[in-house]
Amino acid sequence: MTENAESQLRAAAAAWDRAMVGNDADQIARYLADEWVIVGSDGSLSDRDTFLALVRDGRLTHHTMTTDDAEVRIYGAVGVLIARGISAGSFDGRSFSEIERQSNVFVNRAGEWRCVLTHLSRIQEPATPVGAP
């Protein structure tokens, strides 16, 4: 089950990224448990309803949402996805672009992976690669 569960969770995460870029709150909601909480890269907290309202109102839009370098661990009906990602778009009329380390905790309910917690940490990438002239 673990290998199949891992591929299902990875597929759900990829679909969630696509829903985010589509800025479709109803599609995004399909991947969030009712009790979902996000800890932003600035340490802020938000819940599912508030987050989805921002998307519905157009106050939060994304044109980029990527997940790469992902590591998935399955613990029965719980899955943890740790990855590097790029998130870019607009919030309250201001553009943003973040490179982040993300930790997502998913639960499998009735055969569907839903995220219950997202935690983001900003990655400060060096302006010049180490060892570059």
Q: Name the pTM for this structure.
A: 0.89
**What is the widest separation between alpha-carbon atoms in the chain?**
55
Total count of residues recorded for the chain: 133
Task: Summarize the confidence of residues 80-96 as an average pLDDT.
Answer: 96
Say how far apart CA 100 and CA 39 lie, in whole Å. Answer: 12
How confident is residue 81, by pLDDT bands cut at 50, 70 and 90? very high
Q: Classify 18 as helix, strand or coil.
A: helix
Task: Summarize the confidence of residues 50-66 as an average pLDDT.
Answer: 97
pLDDT score of 33? 98
More confident call, 50 vs 2: 50
Say how far apart CA 53 and CA 45 lie, in whole Å. Answer: 15
Domains and their CATH numbers in the chain: 2-122 (3.10.450.50)
